[in-house]
Amino acid sequence: MSATGTMKSLTPPDIQAMKGGEPIVCLTAYTTPIARLMDEHCELVLVGDSLGVVVHGLPSTVGVTMDMMLMHARAVRRGLTRPLMVVDLPFGAYEAGPQQAFESAARLMTEGEAGAVKLEGGAVQAETIRFLTERGIPVMAHIGLLPQAINTVGGYKVQGRGDAAEKLLDDAKAVAEAGAFSVVLEKVTASIAETVTETIDIPTIGIGASPRCDGQILVTDDMLGLFEDFKPKFVKRYGDWAVAGREAISSYASDVRARRFPGPEHLFGDRAPASKTAKN
């Protein structure tokens, strides 16, 4: 706590210093109320471009825009005090090269109040990561399954099997050497996730990887069970919010149709309460 009683927000160096220590707790957030729920429990909160799918109903993250990322980043920022807030660079906002990436990342940092940005890609993005970090923009890397590249890889396939394991390890080394403060390993084999974690000196954050990673992240909507028909193998459901929500909405609809809601306790009378006279 500071002298004013405000809790200090974690920084990228704080997260990097957690390498090899207590596991780093990470979740995604897209709104202020959800951010407030996880504020005291997470070290890192990601405003992920997964918002395109879970909030806006898009078929993939490819259609997510910078304006969408900024809007949700501002909302999440209002709900956080302690966790580091990382914001995804959306598809098309950094692939053209380091200068484009800097301009996009600068907007997320200034307009979206991000504490760091995340981008997808391994060795191919090393130059961009170095360019950003040298100019004061902390970067979280993301290797393994790359959702923004789903149209070229042909589906959500497990990464790091067979000959691909060596390339994934090379990608991890490249982003670490370029200055990333951490790296997400998505949908990779447990063995390569553990090898990467033991090899590089920055924290690994697993999603469909291994409990031996330095931290874990899930899409909060998946973890809370908001999508009953979507349950990836690597997701553990810690709630059944879709069931609870449907039951609540059904009860509300029944009460409205039966005129049980609003009840007397929800209504306002015709006469305003008498005002208190001021004492002499």
Catalytic residues, by residue number, are 186
43 has binding-site annotation:
no
Helix 164-178 to helix 190-199 angle (10° resolution) is 30
How far is the C-alpha of 195 from the C-alpha of 169, rounded, in Å? 8
How far is the C-alpha of 69 from the C-alpha of 87, rounded, in Å? 7
Give yes or no for a contact between 53 and 249, defined as CB atoms under 8 angstroms apart: no
> Alpha carbon of 271 to those of 156, 266, 274: distances in Å?
63, 15, 9
49 has binding-site annotation:
yes
50 has binding-site annotation:
yes
120 has binding-site annotation:
yes
How far is the C-alpha of 21 from the C-alpha of 229, rounded, in Å? 36
Element (H, E) at 220: helix 220-223
103 has binding-site annotation:
no
Residues annotated within a binding site for 3-methyl-2-oxobutanoate: 49-50, 88, 118
Residues annotated within a binding site for Mg(2+): 49, 88, 120
Residues annotated within a binding site: 49-50, 88, 118, 120
